[in-house]
């Protein structure tokens, strides 16, 4: 496992993360992320044969509740923070997706 | 000054006894905020009018013997907890104009208990940072030395309580974000057991680690706030069904028979000599109260930082995917005729997030990506299990683990911000409690030569906040550290 990150690695990760990085950011992140990953690689030497992954601690109860209709946010409230919301029509709006 | 009520309990009792009014108390704190916060920047937003209106209503309608435990008492809320109708930014440009249509459960519980919110406190963006320098609106300053960091990410809450701008505040703690700033500002900070307090309305950073908790002047006040905010919530399925004890009534106990463990090997290196000295003095003081202290080992605790930064960033990369320019206020300005959906997402996120948030999203995306998932993310989850087991083992022989909260006292602003890895290493003593889901508290443990506060941390068994609060309270009574206020 190598933690040398190339510029194209950084570009690939940024694309997965939906981030647009400047050339300067790409360079800085390549260096900083490589440092952090090299450090993080110390975990790879640990014997975890008998250790199953922990996803949630202490969640030993079933969180069931009765399935009842309850009050929720109104449509206007849900749309109130949308940058291009159209409360009258009741939609979130996005740039054109289909030609 | 001695007659002025300072703590939540004192203020509550003074209002209940008719010695003062909520409006008087709130006005005093609001005046102090107006006078001091220009140099401290602990608040992102002060809700002056609303607070005074609420205080006046409480003063008018209060009846003898009203049982509400925080009636008329002012508090502050970290700006990553939703407040209905009041901007909630997480100190991020991307949420600069976000006004939540609902209250976080902890906020509605505080208000139902009679508390009055004075404002929203500054923090590292989305809780990501240990210095507050990642706030998009400028760093909070440490009230003990304005050139230094208050710690992070709940630095605004810690600085506000320390500087007596408010008698108590809520913060959130994903890897030490309540305890570390509490230590660096000289106040009490409690991270409850995972599941003890509802996360509904907390802007999520890492959902398997985040917990909301109090920052206060005294241990008793921390117990009081916890009592109000803790308990199951149908809106957060991870909240635990266990009954909430009366923390404030369980505090006063002597420590005969209480066993504490010091993870000596973990404390061997990298600790500031003055922090080490203060820690030694704490151990002696606690022994003098009747507790026994022995050495323990937490063999995997040294891996807590890499494990934490792999898991927390992975969860963050997923949680922060929702900020895409569609639902939450900020959208990049692009020509609607020619722009694509994809370009709108990418541009919005790139201009909305700060450097540390981008770095963590990148790191988490990498740890989860095809080809690296097993080696990083899954491996970290397995080591998390070993860290949990270390604590379980330790709790066979001791009732709580004691160690410093931060390896260093408050550092200078600008000193560490350009080296993310060095900044992450500061979290060595706090992250393991989050990974193991355990309750942990930081209490003031004195000062360095330069008058910078030092904190000591106790980590307890799951849901044993009572045990932690008892020890912390007994230690607090051996000294008067909390009474010392910065001269700001």
Full domain range(s) for residue A33: 7-45
CATH of the domain at A11: 1.10.20
Residue in B241, B328, B462 closest to A61 by CB: B241
Residue A81 in any domain: the answer is no
Per CB-CB distance under 8 Å, the chain B contacts of A32 are 359, 420-421
Q: Where are the alpha helices (DSSP H) in B165-272?
A: 179-185, 219-229
Determine, for residues B234 and A39 on separate chains, whether the beta-carbon distance falls below 8 Å.
no
Tell me, what's the pLDDT at B2?
41
Per CB-CB distance under 8 Å, the chain B contacts of A87 are none
Query: For a pLDDT cut of 90, what percent of chain B falls above it?
Result: 95
- Mode of pairing for the β-strands spanning B453-460 and B74-78: unpaired
Reported ipTM: the value is 0.94
Tell me the per-residue pLDDT of B226-272, one tens digit each, with 9 for 90 and over: 999 999 999 999 999 999 999 999 999 889 999 999 999 999 878 99
CB pairs under 8 A between A and B: 163
Is B332 part of the contact surface with chain A (CB cutoff 8 Å)? no
CB atoms within 10 A of CB B289: 15
In what side-by-side order are the strands of the sheet with B188-191? B43-46, B116-121, B74-78, B168-173, B211-216, B188-191, B440-447, B453-460, B400-404, B259-262, B292-295
Is A69 part of the contact surface with chain B (CB cutoff 8 Å)? no
Over range A59-68, report the average pLDDT. 77
Residue A27 in any domain: the answer is yes
Query: For a pLDDT cut of 70, what percent of chain B falls above it?
Result: 99
For residue A85, name the pLDDT band (cuts at 50, 70, 90). Answer: low
Determine, for residues A19 and B353 on separate chains, whether the beta-carbon distance falls below 8 Å.
yes
Tell me if residue B276 is catalytic. no
**For residue B460, what are the CA distances in angstroms to B265, B403, B415?**
19, 12, 33
Domains of chain B, start order: 8-259+403-483 (3.90.1300.10)
Question: In the predicted model, what is the mean pLDDT of chain B?
Answer: 96
Q: Where are the beta strands (DSSP E) in B91-202?
A: 116-121, 168-173, 188-191
Beta-carbon contacts of B384 under 8 Å, excluding residues fewer than 6 positions away, are A53, A54, B307, B311, B435, B436
Residue A86 in any domain: the answer is no
Determine if the peptide bond prior to B153 is cis (ω within 30°).
yes
Has residue A95 got a pLDDT over 90?
A: no
CB atoms within 10 A of CB B423: 20
CA pseudo-torsion sign B472, B473, B474, B476: positive
Tell me the per-residue pLDDT of B381-404, one tens digit each, with 9 for 90 and over: 999 999 999 999 999 999 999 999
Residue in B101, B310, B341 closest to A94 by CB: B341
Radius of gyration of chain B (CA): 21
Residue A13 in any domain: the answer is yes
Over range B431-456, report the average pLDDT. 98
Tell me, what's the pLDDT at B49?
98
Residue A25 in any domain: the answer is yes
Q: Where are the alpha helices (DSSP H) in B113-207?
A: 155-162, 179-185
Tell me, what's the pLDDT at B363?
97
Tell me if residue B432 is catalytic. no
Tell me, what's the pLDDT at B24?
98
Residue A29 in any domain: the answer is yes
Task: Please give the Cα distance from B183 to A62 (Å, whole number).
Answer: 36
Determine, for residues A25 and B306 on separate chains, whether the beta-carbon distance falls below 8 Å.
no
Residue A53 in any domain: the answer is no
Over range B48-64, report the average pLDDT. 96
Has residue B458 got a pLDDT over 60?
A: yes
Run of H or E including B354? none
Tell me if residue B153 is catalytic. yes
Tell me, what's the pLDDT at A3?
61
Q: Which of A18, A30, A55, A87 to mutate to test the interface with B (most CBs of B within 10 A)?
A: A18
CA distance B131 to chain A (A): 18
Q: Indicate the burial class of A67 (C-beta count within 10 angstroms; 0-12, 13-18, 19 or more).
A: exposed
The token duo for B126 is 């989305």
Task: Please give the Cα distance from B365 to B377 (Å, whole number).
Answer: 10
Task: Please give the Cα distance from A84 to B336 (Å, whole number).
Answer: 11
Q: Where are the alpha helices (DSSP H) in B373-480?
A: 379-394, 420-425, 431-436, 465-476
Beta-carbon contacts of B466 under 8 Å, excluding residues fewer than 6 positions away, are B245, B247, B250
Using an 8 Å Cβ cutoff, are B60 and B150 in contact? no
Tell me the per-residue pLDDT of A7-51, one tens digit each, with 9 for 90 and over: 999 999 999 999 999 999 999 999 999 999 999 999 999 999 999
Residue A15 in any domain: the answer is yes
Using an 8 Å Cβ cutoff, are B458 and B286 in contact? no
Residue in A46, A59, A80 closest to B303 by CB: A46
CA pseudo-torsion sign B449, B450, B453, B457: negative
CA atoms within 13 A on the CB side of B387: 29
Over range B455-475, report the average pLDDT. 98
Beta-carbon contacts of B250 under 8 Å, excluding residues fewer than 6 positions away, are B223, B466, B469, B470
Which residue, B222, B216, B221, is CA-closest to B196?
A: B222
Over range B282-303, report the average pLDDT. 96
Output helix, strand, coil percentages for chain B, rounded to the nearest 5. Answer: 40, 15, 45
Task: Please give the Cα distance from B476 to B221 (Å, whole number).
Answer: 12
Residue in B97, B208, B363 closest to A33 by CB: B363
CA atoms within 13 A on the CB side of A87: 10
Using an 8 Å Cβ cutoff, are B54 and B30 in contact? no
Using an 8 Å Cβ cutoff, are B133 and B149 in contact? yes
Which residue, B252, B211, B248, is CA-closest to B227?
A: B248
If you count them, how many residues does chain A have? Answer: 99
Place of tokens 């201009």: B351
Domain count, chain A: 1
Of the residues B78, B120, B416, B470, which is catalytic? B78
Tell me, what's the pLDDT at A27?
95
Which residue, B424, B380, B415, is CA-closest to B145?
A: B415
Using an 8 Å Cβ cutoff, are B80 and B122 in contact? no
Task: Please give the Cα distance from B387 to B303 (Å, whole number).
Answer: 8
Tell me, what's the pLDDT at A1?
42
Tell me, what's the pLDDT at B1?
39
Of the residues B91, B108, B149, B177, which is catalytic? B177
Tell me, what's the pLDDT at B3?
59
For residue A87, name the pLDDT band (cuts at 50, 70, 90). Answer: low
């Amino acid at each position: 496992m190598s933690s040398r990150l190339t510029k194209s690695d950084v570009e690939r990760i940024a694309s997965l993360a939906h981030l647009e990085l400047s050339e300067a950011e790409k360079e800085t992140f390549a260096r900083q992320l490589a440092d952090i990953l090299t450090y993080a690689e110390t975990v790879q030497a640990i014997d975890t044969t008998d250790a199953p992954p922990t996803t949630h601690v202490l969640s030993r109860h079933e969180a069931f509740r009765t399935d009842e209709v309850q009050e929720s946010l109104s449509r206007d409230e849900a749309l109130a923070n949308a940058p291009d919301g159209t409360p009258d029509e009741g939609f979130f709006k996005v740039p054109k997706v289909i030609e | 000054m001695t007659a002025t009520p300072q703590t939540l309990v004192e203020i509550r009792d003074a209002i209940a006894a008719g010695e003062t009014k909520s409006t008087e108390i709130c006005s005093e704190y609001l005046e102090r905020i107006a006078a001091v916060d220009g140099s401290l920047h602990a608040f992102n937003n002060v809700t002056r009018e609303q607070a005074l209106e609420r205080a006046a209503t409480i003063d008018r309608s209060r009846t003898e013997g009203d049982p509400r435990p925080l009636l008329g008492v002012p508090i502050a809320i970290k700006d990553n907890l939703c407040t209905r109708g009041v901007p909630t930014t997480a100190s991020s440009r991307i949420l600069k104009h976000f006004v939540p249509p609902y209250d976080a459960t902890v906020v509605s519980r505080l208000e139902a208990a009679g508390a009055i919110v004075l404002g929203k406190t500054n923090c590292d963006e989305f809780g990501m940072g240990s210095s507050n320098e990642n706030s998009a609106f400028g760093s909070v300053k440490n009230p003990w030395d304005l050139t230094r960091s208050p710690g992070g990410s709940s630095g605004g809450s810690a600085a506000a309580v320390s500087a007596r701008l408010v008698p108590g505040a809520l913060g959130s703690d994903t890897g030490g974000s309540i305890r570390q700033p509490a230590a660096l500002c000289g106040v009490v900070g409690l991270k409850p057991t995972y599941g003890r307090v509802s996360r509904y309305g907390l802007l999520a950073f890492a959902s398997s680690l985040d917990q909301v908790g109090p920052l206060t002047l005294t241990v008793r006040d921390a117990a009081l706030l916890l009592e109000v905010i803790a308990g199951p919530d149908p809106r957060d399925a991870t909240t635990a069904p266990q009954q909430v004890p009366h923390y404030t009534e369980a505090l006063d106990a002597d420590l005969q028979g209480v066993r504490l463990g010091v993870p000596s090997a973990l404390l061997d290196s990298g600790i500031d000599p003055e922090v080490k000295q203060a820690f030694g003095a704490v151990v002696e003081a606690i022994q003098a109260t009747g507790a026994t202290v022995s050495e323990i080992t937490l063999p995997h605790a040294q891996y807590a930082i890499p494990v934490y930064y792999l898991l927390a960033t992975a969860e963050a990369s997923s949680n922060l995917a929702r900020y895409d320019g569609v639902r939450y206020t900020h959208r990049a300005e692009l020509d609607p005729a020619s722009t694509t959906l994809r370009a709108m997402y990418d541009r919005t996120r790139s201009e909305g997030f700060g450097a540390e948030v981008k770095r963590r999203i990148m790191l988490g995306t990498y740890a989860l990506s095809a080809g690296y998932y097993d080696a990083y993310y899954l491996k970290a989850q397995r080591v998390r299990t070993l860290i949990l087991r270390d604590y379980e083992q330790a709790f066979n022989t001791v009732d709580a683990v004691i160690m410093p909260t931060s390896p260093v006292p408050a550092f200078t602003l600008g000193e560490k911000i350009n080296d993310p890895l060095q900044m992450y290493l500061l979290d060595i003593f706090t992250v393991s409690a989050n990974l193991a889901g355990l309750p942990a508290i930081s209490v003031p443990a004195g000062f360095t030569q330069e008058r910078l506060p030092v904190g000591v941390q106790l980590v307890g068994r799951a849901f044993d906040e009572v045990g932690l609060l008892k020890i912390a309270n007994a230690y607090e009574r051996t000294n008067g550290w909390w009474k010392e206020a910065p001269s700001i």
